[in-house]
Amino acid sequence: MTAATNTKRNLVTAALVAPAAAWLMIFLVLPFIAMLVFAFGERAPEGGYQAAFTFAQFANLPTRAAAFWNTLILAPIGALACLLIAYPVAYYLAVKANPRYRLILVSLVVVPFWTSLLVRTYAWMYILGSRGIPNLLSMIGIEDVRMLNTPGAVLLGIVYGYLPLMIMPVYVSLEKLDRRLLEASADLGAKPVSTFFGVTLPLSLPGVMTGVALVTILLLGEYLIPQLLGGGKVFFIGNALVDLFLQSRNWPFGSAIAVTLVAVVVVVLMVAMRIAFRVAGTRQVDLV
């Protein structure tokens, strides 16, 4: 190969990469740098940002310990609850369902996504509110049950809202699973349960980890569901951020929290992917 073709190839590569790089630069890198700068600044007297260099915002993080705690507890629990429900569903869709109806069934999983989460969460507000399930319970003599605006309602909303995001990657990894591997396992004397734990589960782990990481990361930024189903009482980091930017107008502190959150997300992602790589025994882990 000549130097000229090399240069040409590099130019083509650069041209292909440029839009994505520009996109990342404008919508990811620059805002993140702005956020970093804000995080070391001060709140202006009327709100907003004024230049400074201080660690005060980070020192203030413990005042949002409850929000971090709620998020870091409820996000993994939510992701895990999602997984427990999503795995059997994905397994059924990918392995057991009649291939003729599979597409329809998979679409049914995705269809709710066509409706805004806001609308669907409002529906849950009605279902969990006094005129919903508590009303039905009162008919059988169980009075004054309160479901809405509880951590349980938030968890339910999370599982409901994020289930498709968990089902899809697990489904894809199970659907790609070579059926002959299951036959090979049975052939070698493995009972169905052993086959599941020895072959199916490990080989679907990339999908599982993708789903768990996806749902956990999105949950770390969740704000709508705790707001609507938690009545503003169950507070996630997302809610703390909304408050800081939209009520207190404390941009520096909000940025400090956001930067910390990004750091947490990066760590979560790295740990999850490392586990997935190790278990799957290959570097070719598919992100969906």
Contact set with other proteins (CB under 8 A): 43, 45-48, 63-64, 66-67, 129-131, 146, 148-149, 178, 180-181, 183-192, 194-195, 198-199, 202-203, 231-233, 235, 239-240, 243-250, 279-282
Cβ-based nearer residue to other proteins, 164 or 207: 207
Cβ-based nearer residue to other proteins, 20 or 144: 144
Cβ-based nearer residue to other proteins, 4 or 144: 144
Rounded to a whole number of angstroms, the minimum distance from the CB of residue 129 to other proteins is 5
Cβ-based nearer residue to other proteins, 7 or 248: 248
Rounded to a whole number of angstroms, the minimum distance from the CB of residue 209 to other proteins is 13
Specify whether the CB–CB gap between 226 and 155 falls below 8 A.
no
Rounded to a whole number of angstroms, the minimum distance from the CB of residue 1 to other proteins is 28
Residues 6+ apart with CB under 8 A from 86: 163, 166, 167, 170, 211
Question: Is residue 192 helix, strand or coil?
Answer: helix
CA torsion angle for 72, 75, 81, 86 (degrees, to 10)?
A: -140
Rounded to a whole number of angstroms, the minimum distance from the CB of residue 271 to other proteins is 19
Rounded to a whole number of angstroms, the minimum distance from the CB of residue 2 to other proteins is 33
Phi first, then psi: give them for residue 48, nearest 5 degrees: 100, -145
- Residue ranges of alpha helices (H) inside the chain are 3-24, 30-39, 56-59, 65-91, 99-110, 117-128, 133-139, 151-176, 179-187, 192-195, 201-220, 224-229, 237-246, 251-280
Cβ-based nearer residue to other proteins, 87 or 235: 235
